[in-house]
A and B are shown apart, each in its own frame.
Chain A
Amino acid sequence: MNSMMKPIHFKPLNGVRIVVWSAFALILVLLPAIFNSSFAMTLLCFTGIAVIACLSYNMLLGQTGMLSFGHAVYTGLGSFVAVHAMNQIVAGWYLPMWLVPLVGGFAGLFFGVLFGYVTTRKSGTPFAMITLGIGELVFAAALMFPWFFGGEAGINSNRTAGKEMWVNFGLSFGPQIQVYYLIAVYVFFCTVAMYAFTLTPLGRIANAVRDNPERAEFVGYDTRLVRFLVLMASSFFAGIAGGLSSLNIEAANAELLHAIRSGSYLLFVFLGGAIFFFGPILGAVLLVFSLFMLSEFTKAWQLYIGILFLIMVIYAPGGFSSLIMLNLRRVKYGEWRKMRWPYTWMFLFGLIALWGFASIVEMAYQIQVAAGSGSKLTVMTIPLDAASTTSWVIAVIVLIAGGVAFEYWRRKFAKVWSDGEERIADAIKKAEAAIV
């Protein structure tokens, strides 16, 4: 007969996966050896936590098609419960410090059950609106119960408590490196668990509910129950991320529950890409990078990220991960060479146009926000003066010239791209015909 009839064996532990996951573990182990300054260490810790949070968010957005505006509820409440657990350890509880993130996880799960019961009654747009409402509800409530949320100041704790106990494997969690490795272990196991989740029957049905809820319902699945179960799983991992964050910064405050945080999960998961499993990891790296490095570089970073987001929604709804995968596919089919020059020119002129745009924005900020520090500034090493007309004229001219050249090459690129897409589609068709 033909190859279509070959029985399919389910082998979760195949060669490729072993290599990929081992490499992932190795990277997690080796990162502190490469980036060993204390600032880099802090960034690595935040990135690890963000990776778990973003992956848990993508269980909703990417895998089940649930657009949530209230994910910070689960990470934040997980943080608060975890910080209280830490204070109990300080007071003498026999709980190993390294289990605190799990406490956060179960807190997340608890609130996932509680709020998910209400929010998952709806799907699609109404779900998005309701999660936003729940998010506001929890944030407003946080300021109402200062004994639990600590009011404006938040709650502080100490992660080095209970170090004499053998249960901590002799770790004090004082040095940041120990916390990093704890985070790394959690990142590894949570990532494996969340990947495994996508392969379970529930994970598959979640995809069906995302793609076509009516058919899933018709086949006999309760779509609401599926959404509810996925939300529970997602909030559990979100809670772990929250617990790790409490352990890392030894504090929790109401900011953790704010809608801005929920929004940034959405924004960066989307930028990283919700279609592929590894997309949110890219998103998490981007999140920490923008929050800690871009914000040092420019005050207008949220504007740039927002505009980048708009462009991505319109032109690359699969995020950066899908851009990578699409280009890898080009390489595989030998189409990449044709795009070298369009890419180069687009990149070059895009950069020039960006300089013009950034100059305008930065000069406006200099006048509006940072007026106290004079009108001189540099944009990408080029000195400018927000008070002189020449600077403004130059910036506008560069923006227009760069923009026009960019648009010219973008059109050429779009042509080359769609031609290549057709050839690849043909090649795939031929390959399929050869099999049957």
Chain B
Amino acid sequence: MSMLNGLSYGLLLFMLSAGLTLIFSMMGVLNFAHASFYMIGAYFAYQLSSWSNYWVGFLIAPILVALLGGLFERYMLRKTHKFGHVAELLLTFGLSFVILELVQLVWGRTSVDYAIPTAMQAPLFKLYDSTFQTYRGFMMLVALLMLVSLYLLLKKTRIGLVIQAALTHPDTTEALGHNVPRVFAYVFAGGCGLAALAGVIGGNAFITEPGMAQSVGAIIFVVVVVGGMGSLGGALIASILIGLMQTFAVGLDWSILGGAKSLGVEITSATPGYSLWSLKLSQIAPILPYLLLVLMLIVRPKGIMGTRDE
């Protein structure tokens, strides 16, 4: 059961990091505001679903956010391009700041009631004693569909071909008559749209509040670094790994103390470093992704599927 929950969380992380990775590998821009687009996606979906129904929000919110992302790229990000990647990163950092404030301005500082549609609240099936909610299944389905269509779009269509060409050889692609800046804008918009889609399906599965961007933002950066900068495959593996790791860890009460006990070593509160040994795995769950990051950097700095090492 943890397995399935972890998998659905991991796939959600992948929906987020896929857009981030695409934008990064293409434009070299680390979109710091990516998680903010995820948040706006959830809020837009909440607003639209409160006006009509869930499906309207599901379809329209990502499109609206993609539009916003495209406008941001066209009128702001492109202007800082000449100042280099650090300026671009700073711009998206500032944007995340402004988006957070605007969200609080429009929807308030507390969480909003963005509910799962009643049809999908029912359990899908029962395994042992725990139930698996239909909505979780729906999340996984959407994520997998997105994964497949992203793969097909990039590998099998003409648009994907142009995107891949612009990714590695922007000058040549431009010389062949393609408008590379426009391709960039589309990719940026697409990435933001993906983040918003993740927000639409993740916002009600978890919670829709102003803090949601920050809580997930750092994790998706870990995913991108661990997976290897700019590698979609690596991002998929890393997000599922982290998703599983976090869900499993929360449910486990293991600690070094317990492990030592089963080996016959007794650790008491008098032993030096007792508070460290007695920490339960469930307690350190929030820092596991970051420990993984540090470990990865020491063992394999380029990430799971990374090709270049700076």
Contacts and interface: CB of A to CB of B under 8 A. Distances in A.
Interface of A: 65, 67, 118, 121-126, 128-130, 132-137, 140-141, 144-145, 147, 259, 263, 266-267, 270, 300, 302-303, 305-307, 309-310, 313-314, 317, 361, 364-365, 368-369
Given A121-B301, A126-B229, A263-B97, A134 B89 contact: no
Contact of A302 (B101, B106, B108): B101
B90 interface: yes
Given A259-B214, A303-B102, A307-B98, A130 B225 contact: yes
B93 A136 contact: no
Interface string B90-112: 11011101101110111111000
A145 B287 CA distance: 13
Interface in B280-310: 283-284, 286-287, 289-291, 293-294, 297-298, 301, 310
B129 to A, nearest CB: 30
B98 A310 contact: yes
Contact of A133 (B24, B86, B222): B222
B97 A309 contact: yes
Interface string B106-130: 1111000000000000000000000
B89 A128 contact: yes
Contacts of B229: 125-126
B277 to A, nearest CB: 12
Interface of B: 24, 28, 30, 76, 79-80, 83, 85-87, 89-91, 93-95, 97-98, 100-102, 104-109, 214, 218, 221-222, 224-225, 229, 275-276, 279, 283-284, 286-287, 289-291, 293-294, 297-298, 301, 310
Contacts of B90: 67, 266, 270, 309, 313
B93 A263 contact: yes
Contacts of A266: 90, 93
A147 B94 CA distance: 36
A124 B97 contact: no
Given A313-B91, A314-B76, A361-B105, A137 B98 contact: no
A300 B284 contact: no
B177 to A, nearest CB: 30
Contacts of A144: 279, 283-284, 287
Contacts of A147: 275
Contacts of B108: 368-369
